[in-house]
């Protein structure tokens, strides 16, 4: 459960705010809708009553009594009587008959009979007309129909009005029904708003707006302020968060919304990110860094929300630990040499004490000339002083562990070979691995041995390291060069499973190849082209790091790892 943050000032709860806002919006829209509907209904009622007035006018215009009164001289009283009868039966406010001169022949106010109307005759076109009439009887819905004589000619106009209060009364009788509908819609909207507010509250885990804003600020500050890469995944495995440190360590620009398979090439890094590779503190090598990756699933109330991956840069730390482990190994070798030197001195002192001066002299010469003879033997085949020093040093340390390193007769390397620095790293790691394998293997005829071959031609440098150990298991041949893969526990402070992976990356960087085979033990063969050409994909993975920073490729020079 998320910790509740203290509220930053007074304020209503988020659900209350949402509910109040939506209720207010629904109320305003309901009122506006009700008013618009009432206005539209009033217009419709006006039109209906105008058409009704027109129908009454047409009925009056066809009344024989009115026609006779308008055509037969001396029968004008018939028109008023017929108009009053029709008005009473239809509940119209008035039925006015007008001749073509605009003179009234009927009117609800008798004093207006015989007077002219102020408006012109509009039915001369033979059509009926409707409208609102603010006449002497008050505002009314009006309909006017032409009055035809026996010959079919227009002899006048019949105007009928229905009082405004009839229209208003009909509207007021309909409005409660409309108000009921609007109230039901408002109630349903309020219930839906309440349900939505509850759902939003659950979705935000009960956090208020100020708390959500604070959490967002804290998250941004934390993600971009820590010196540790953080990548978040949703339940579908898509990347949702990548902080600045993760972009730097993983060398990516933007990956939001993508899966690890869409961003990273196939390998240990992608497997560690998407959860295929399980475990804690997984060591992953890139072309620039040595990383420690941890993936932790995230859940809340039994629901899986995704996962969070942390990435830590341990390049410098691993380099220091490996260097420390190498120094410890060198210290142990020097301690062993001290004991060996003391033993030789004891033998020499004993021979002198026995008077065996000639034997003592021969023993001293033999002991003093053993190491110079080894150095001279290597110098005859290897021209680079750095490579000579590396081979002699490794041979000395190996000898203290009971392993003899031999340089093949066909070995030949110039003073300044191509890829010298990388070659030193590769040779050092492979020799360390071979010595470890020879020590752990069964005793072979002639003792534990490691054979080194370095052959430089016009097109390539071929390096081969063979040992008398147990060899590489057949099922491990495909995965032996993966970073973190090892069959032996960590040695001292240095983690195993990195040496061969580093060698493999370094060989690829220089455009070469590395293979593993088996004779008595394991045989590693490395070929580095002298042209400097890089195979497809190697150039993209070539490290571009400032010299002041230790890279995984440089770490290999600090010591090897036995598979």
Kindly write down the DSSP assignment for every residue of 108-155, as one continuous string.
SSGGGTTPBPSSPP--TTS--EEEEEEETTEEEEEEEEEEE-TTSSEE
Cross-strand pairs, 129: 144
What pLDDT is recorded for position 137? Answer: 67
Neighbours of 130 (CB within 10 A): 18
Angle (CA) 526 483 421, round 5°: 45
pTM higher than 0.85? no
For the CA atoms of 327, 333, 335, 337, the dihedral, rounded to the nearest 10 degrees, stands at -140
What pLDDT is recorded for position 548? Answer: 32
Distance CA 130, CA 374 (A): 127
Parallel/antiparallel/unpaired status of strands 239-242 and 229-233: antiparallel
What pLDDT is recorded for position 1? Answer: 42
- The candidate with the shortest Cα–Cα distance to 492, out of 329, 376, 300, 255, is 329
Helices (H) and strands (E) in the chain — how many of each?
15, 14
Contact yes or no for 414/452 (Cβ under 8 A): no
Query: What would the two tokens of residue 140 be?
Result: 């009314």
Distance CA 432, CA 524 (A): 12
What pLDDT is recorded for position 42? Answer: 75
Handedness of CA 331, 336, 338, 339 (dihedral sign): positive
280: three-class secondary structure by DSSP: coil
- pLDDT less than 70: residues of the chain: 1-12, 14-15, 74, 76, 136-137, 166-168, 171, 205-206, 318-319, 322, 325-326, 329-330, 332-333, 336-337, 367-374, 442-446, 483-498, 531-563
In angstroms, what CA-CA distances link 185 with 34, 182, 454? 11, 5, 90
Q: Specify burial of residue 181 (Cβ count, 10 A radius: 0-12, 13-18, 19+).
A: middle
In angstroms, what CA-CA distances link 304 with 296, 299, 301, 456, 539? 11, 4, 9, 58, 40
Distance CA 531, CA 534 (A): 9
Distance CA 186, CA 52 (A): 36
Neighbours of 274 (CB within 10 A): 17
Distance CA 168, CA 469 (A): 109
pLDDT single digits (tens) 349-400: 888 888 888 888 887 777 665 555 567 778 888 888 888 888 888 887 788 7
Contact yes or no for 472/518 (Cβ under 8 A): yes
Q: 214 Cβ partners below 8 Å, 6+ apart?
A: 5, 8
Dihedrals φ, ψ of 203, to 5°?
-65, -30
In angstroms, what CA-CA distances link 397 with 280, 331, 337? 34, 10, 9
Distance CA 107, CA 83 (A): 8
Question: Rounded to an integer, what is the distance from CA 333 to the centroid of its chain?
Answer: 53
Distance CA 309, CA 233 (A): 8
Q: Considering the chain, what is the average pLDDT of its residues?
A: 78
Q: Is 259 left (phi over 0), alpha (psi -120 to 50) or beta?
A: beta
């Amino acid at each position: 459960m998320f910790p509740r943050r203290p509220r930053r000032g007074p304020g209503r709860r988020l659900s209350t705010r949402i509910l109040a806002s939506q209720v207010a919006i629904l109320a305003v829209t309901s009122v506006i809708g009700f008013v618009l509907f009432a206005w539209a209904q009033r217009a419709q009622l006006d039109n209906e009553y105008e058409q009704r007035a027109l129908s009454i006018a047409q009925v009056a215009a066809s009344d024989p009594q009115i026609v006779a009164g308008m055509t037969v001289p001396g029968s004008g009283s018939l028109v008023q009587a017929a108009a009053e009868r029709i008005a009473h039966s239809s509940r119209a406010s008035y039925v006015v008959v007008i001749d073509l001169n605009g003179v009234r022949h009927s009117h609800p106010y008798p004093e207006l009979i015989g007077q002219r109307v102020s408006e012109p005759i509009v039915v001369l076109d033979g059509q009926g007309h409707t409208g609102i009439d603010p006449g002497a009887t008050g505002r009314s819905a009006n309909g006017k129909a032409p009055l035809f004589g026996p010959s079919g000619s227009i002899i006048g106009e019949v105007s009928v009005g229905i009082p405004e209060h009839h229209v208003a009364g009909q509207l007021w009788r309909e409005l409660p029904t409309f108000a009921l509908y609007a109230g039901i819609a408002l109630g349903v909207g309020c219930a839906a708003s309440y349900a939505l507010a509850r759902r939003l509250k659950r979705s935000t885990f009960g956090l208020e707006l100020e708390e959500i804003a604070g959490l967002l600020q804290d998250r941004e500050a934390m993600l971009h302020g820590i010196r540790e890469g953080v990548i978040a995944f949703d339940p579908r495995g898509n990347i949702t968060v990548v902080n600045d440190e993760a972009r730097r360590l993983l060398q990516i620009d933007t990956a939001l919304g993508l899966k690890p398979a869409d961003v990273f090439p196939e390998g240990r890094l992608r497997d560690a990110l998407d959860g295929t590779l399980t475990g804690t503190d997984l060591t992953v090598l890139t072309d620039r860094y040595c990383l420690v990756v941890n993936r932790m699933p995230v859940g809340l109330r039994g629901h899986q929300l995704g996962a969070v991956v942390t990435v830590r840069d341990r390049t410098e730390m691993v380099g220091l630990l490996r260097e420390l482990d190498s120094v410890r190994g060198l210290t142990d070798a020097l301690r062993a040499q001290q004991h060996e030197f003391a033993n030789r001195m004891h033998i020499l002192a004993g021979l002198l004490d026995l008077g065996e001066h000639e034997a003592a002299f021969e023993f001293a010469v033999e002991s003093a000339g053993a190491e110079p003879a080894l150095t001279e033997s290597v110098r005859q085949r290897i021209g680079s002083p750095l490579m000579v020093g590396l081979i002699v040093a490794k041979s000395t340390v190996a000898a203290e562990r009971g392993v003899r390193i031999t340089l093949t007769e066909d070995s030949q390397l110039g003073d300044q070979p191509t890829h010298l620095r990388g070659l030193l790293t590769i040779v050092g790691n492979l020799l360390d691995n071979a010595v470890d394998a020879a020590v752990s293997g069964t005793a072979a005829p002639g003792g534990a041995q490691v054979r080194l071959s370095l052959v430089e031609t016009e097109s390539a440098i071929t390096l081969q390291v063979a040992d008398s150990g147990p060899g590489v298991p057949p099922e491990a041949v495909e995965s032996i060069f993966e970073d973190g893969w090892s069959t032996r526990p960590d040695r001292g402070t240095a983690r195993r499973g990195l040496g061969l992976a580093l060698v493999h990356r370094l060989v690829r960087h220089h455009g070469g190849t590395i293979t593993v085979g088996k004779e008595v033990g394991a045989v590693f063969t490395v070929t580095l082209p002298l042209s400097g050409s890089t195979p497809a994909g190697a150039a993209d993975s070539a490290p571009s790091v400032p010299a002041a920073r230790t890279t995984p490729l440089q770490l290999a020079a600090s010591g090897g790892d036995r598979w």
